[in-house]
Amino acid sequence: MKKTEILIVGHGLAGSLMAWELQQAGIDFMVMNAPQIPRSSDVAGGLFNPLMFRKLRLAQMVEDLWPVMQATYTAIEKHYGIKLMHHILSAKMVYDKELVEWEQGHEKKTAPYIHALIKGASVKGLKNVTALGFISSSGYLDIVKWLEISKKGLVEKGQFIEGELVYAKMKNFKDKIFINNTIEASKIIFCEGAAVIKNPWFQADWLTPNKGELLEIQAPDLDEKYILRDEVFILPLGHHRFKVGATYSHDPVDTLPSEDGRKELKAKLDKMISVSYKITQHYAGVRPAIKDRMPVLGPHVNRENLFIFNGLGSRGVVLAPYCAKALVKSLLSNNEPIPAFVNVRRFAQLPHPIVY
């Protein structure tokens, strides 16, 4: 029987950053991950961006989340001697009807992030538009590289278990939990992404997973300096490769690339660019979303040794470092309150059935 203080279930963005924070805090832990369960982190664009574009405004809680995100990924990069964060200016296509809003954006909270608004600006391969809004503090995180590095380190230290936690085989006592008849832990932190929908401990109507699809294209004549943004993003990966995404759908919620998804992405891409391209890949995944679009973090209402860290939705890169740090801080300080905007207790009025 393997014994550990904390078992993290799931090794996506949530579980890997949780592991990083526990390691920094010197807390004993292991990570269990089921490779056969699809992982949203594998298909994500990895973008981080401080602004929302539908109506120009700051993304929720940016002022709290941004410094933690920067500090965490920078510390990881330094620790492992790798580059994960790629800072790239975003160029948002601004149309006539949006121009006033963008001009006013210079005087609002969004101002520090608007690098420039240039009327008549042109970018190679992009269709002409009234103006381009250039956004600083944007870029992407190489999530796949991070998960590989994180797993390698955990495997080397004997802290990684490849396998699925089977809920029916879980025995939960007051101070001990037995998992799959092979592991004994004092606490479990469930970081299962969209698979949480099957977790009998955290069944509630605030879980609203949604499907996203993404294309990879080869476009030899398209500019590679900026992340181009309009109804979809076009993220340069180097060597004329780009990711184009993403779709949002609630029906069906599966991980199969669809013809509808491909058509939608292609139509939105064709509205943006004037150069030829070839589609080389098509991905689909499920975002672990919550109905108020904020993560859920904290202990089960009746079982204080079971924790949830979920709901990263479409902003996992920005949200995960803050959440992992907040949960570790709470564990270290004997349940110091978790900030209200990410605390699972904001849904306390909703049912959390006890399962024995």
Ligand X SMILES: Cc1cc2nc3c(=O)[nH]c(=O)nc-3n(C[C@H](O)[C@H](O)[C@H](O)COP(=O)(O)OP(=O)(O)OC[C@H]3O[C@@H](n4cnc5c(N)ncnc54)[C@H](O)[C@@H]3O)c2cc1C
In the bound state with ligand X, the residue whose beta carbon lies nearer, of 8 and 331, is: 8
Stretch that binds ligand X, among 30-38, 111-119, 323-331, 333-341 (CB under 6 A): 30-38
Could you give the count of Cα atoms lying within 13 Å of 291 in the half-sphere of its Cβ? 8
Tokens of 142: 């190489």
Residue 111, Ramachandran bin (φ over 0: left; ψ between -120 and 50: alpha; else beta): alpha
User: In this chain, which of 6, 7, 8, 10 binds ligand X, going by CB under 6 A?
Assistant: 10
Which residue in the set 133, 139, 209, 245 belongs to the binding site for ligand X (CB under 6 A)? 245
Residues 6+ apart with CB under 8 A from 333: none
How big is the chain, counted in residues?
356
Q: Are 197 and 9 in contact (CB under 8 A)?
A: no
Q: Establish if 7 lies at the interface with ligand X (CB under 6 A).
A: no
- Does 236 participate in binding ligand X (rule CB under 6 A)? no
User: Is residue 37 at the binding interface for ligand X, with CB under 6 A as the rule?
Assistant: yes
316 binds ligand X (CB under 6 A): yes
Handedness of CA 6, 11, 12, 17 (dihedral sign): positive
In angstroms, what is the minimal distance from the CB of 237 to ligand X? 13
Ramachandran area for residue 337 (φ above 0: left; ψ -120 to 50: alpha; else beta): beta
Q: Considering the rule CB under 6 A, would residue 185 count as an interface residue with ligand X?
A: no
User: Helix, strand, or coil here: 134?
Assistant: strand
Contact between 13 and ligand X per CB under 6 A: yes
Q: Is 239 left (phi over 0), alpha (psi -120 to 50) or beta?
A: left
Q: Which of 314, 321, 323, 347 binds ligand X (CB under 6 A)?
A: 314
Between 105 and 209, name the residue whose CB sits nearer to ligand X: 209
Q: What is the C-alpha separation between 46 and 86, in angstroms, rounded? A: 10
Residue 111: both structure tokens together? 């101002």
- Could you say which of 21, 192, 230, 264 contacts ligand X (CB under 6 A)? 192
Closest C-alpha among 77, 14, 87 to residue 290: 14
Closer by beta carbon to ligand X, 105 or else 288: 288
Minimum distance from residue 147 beta carbon to ligand X (Å) = 8
Interface residue with ligand X among 188, 191, 232, 338 (CB under 6 A) is: 191
Distance between CA atoms of 55 and 95, rounded to whole angstroms? 13
Q: Is 50 in the site for ligand X (CB under 6 A)?
A: no
Whether 212 and 260 have beta carbons less than 8 Å apart is answered as no
CB of 106 to ligand X, least distance (A): 26
The verdict on 324 binding ligand X (CB under 6 A) reads: no
Kindly tell me which of 34 and 327 has the beta carbon lying closer to ligand X: 34
Cβ 226 to ligand X shortest distance, Å = 15
* Sites of contact with ligand X (CB under 6 A): 9-15, 32-34, 37, 39-41, 43-47, 164-165, 191-195, 212-214, 245-246, 285, 287-288, 310, 312-318
